[in-house]
Amino acid sequence: MVATDIEARIAASRAASGAERFVGVHLPAEFDLTALVDDPDLNGVVASYERPSSEFSLVAVGEAARVELPAGASPEALRDGAQRLLAGEQSAESALLRPRLLGGFAFDGGRTPGAPWAGFAAGALVLPRLLFVRDRGVSGVVVAPGVDPGEVKALVSRVISAARARLSAPPVPQLPRVLRVLRDFDRARWLTSVSSVAASIRAGLFEKVVLAAMREFEADAPIGVGAAMARLRREYPHCHLFSMRAAGATFLGASPELLVSLRDGVVRALGLAGSARRDAEPDVDAQLGQALLESTKDRVEHETVVRALRGGLTPVTAELNVPSTPTLLQLRNIQHLSTEITGKVAAGVDVFDLVQRLHPTPAVCGWPTAAARAEIGQQEAFDRGWYAGPIGWVDANGDGEFAVGLRSALVREQHAWLFAGAGIMGDSVPESELAEIEMKFTPLVGALTGGES
């Protein structure tokens, strides 16, 4: 299979079934979708969503259309607009090569994100001109109506040629980029906030509040989003990798936390709360993991999240399976208590319903939700924007998958804003929570600089 053959098959499909259809065709085996993300500016990448360990990738090239969420509206308000964009007829060589929208939502949908989130609405979903798909062993591209097949041929040919060139002449290793801290969070103030919130929890005002921090960096040249994504893909293959572009900025990250997925009537959600560091020494690492499993503070925090997920899903599911004890999700530098929840959704329920029911979970907001969100507004001196919001995709059937926008950064040319948070309980030790925040900044600092992470 060659790029010329791809162009011919797209043209033939349109000639047989109509020019205004979405067309899905297979790609050559040597075509690597992730190579598109390596140079997003050159390739016109506007969004991507990946689970490397599952060999699942969606890469959106060009924007055919979009729908945006007005401030104050719920995620469900995008349903009608999404259905209109996906309503066209389809002709595909595989059922997996179907059109999908990529996008996400702000943590607080009650307002349009402010600085530094210019261009990011309260929520938005993008219809790609070209959607490159790798899913369950199928690799292909979905071409939106009106897109010239020659555009596909040119892009696929260029990416394959570049890959062959790299094999014959591997790139010269780049020195780590230096990032200068422009604005750091006030650690003394943050420690005071933790103490204040913990006292309020002990007084019965909340069960949990998640406090986040932001750090702003500046580099001596535009930050390479493609290089950062490649680093995250290599070092965090079990995470949900994402990049979403708007108004010249890219929100990217490697989140360990699935908010919710829906495929063929089966729903999955992940309760993730309670954290500990990893250690290079296996015996010490095992001890840290066991201590986390036995930690009363972390188990109570984790159960708060699981209880909220169960409560959100129970009214719209049957056969909901909620394990009684958590397991460890172990990543490169951190491990978490994890509970995977599965079930079958009732007829008529789509992924918009599920996102609306579950976001924000106590893992990123606290509990009770309204009170915790109000406290976050009082304690945090920055706009979270899309940090800790749902990021993912949806198709015409209402199936989709949204991760929580964690371990993330907003990159705009030479500037980067990094975000991290920690769940505060009544017995939280401020210095321990600060150490957790610092640990959660590590993956993105390493990805953006090319240094150790």
Q: Active-site residues: which are they?
A: 208, 257
DSSP code of residue 168 = H
Residue 19 CB: number of other CB atoms within 10 A?
Answer: 11
**Beta strand extents in 178-239 (DSSP E only):** 179-183, 208-219
Task: Identify the CA nearest to 43 among candidates 174, 157, 170, 135.
Answer: 157
Q: Which helix (H) or strand (E) holds 10?
A: helix 3-17
CB half-sphere exposure, 174, CA atoms < 13 A: 14
Say which residues have a Cβ less than 8 Å from residue 36's Cβ, sequence separation at least 6. Answer: 43, 45, 48, 59, 61, 132, 155, 159
Spatial distance between the Cα atoms of 418 and 407, rounded to a whole number of angstroms: 8
Nearest to 252 by CA among 262, 239, 261: 239
Question: Which residues lie across from 416 on neighbouring strands?
Answer: 217, 411
Q: Is the distance from CB of 6 to CB of 143 less than 8 angstroms? A: no
CB atoms within 10 A of CB 30: 10
Beta bridge mates, 141: 25, 132
As a whole number of angstroms, the distance between CA 306 and CA 291 comes to 20
Neighbours of 102 (CB within 10 A): 26
Is residue 118 within 8 Å of residue 247, measured between CB atoms? Answer: yes
CB 289 within 8 A of CB 277: no
Contact 107, 50 (CB under 8 A): no
Q: Which helix (H) or strand (E) segment is 133 a member of?
A: strand 123-135
Euclidean distance between CA atoms 130 and 423, whole angstroms:
39
Pairing mode of beta strands 22-26, 90-92: parallel
The rounded distance, in Å, linking the Cα atoms of 27 and 219 is: 37
State the Cα–Cα distance between residues 353 and 315, nearest whole angstrom. Answer: 11
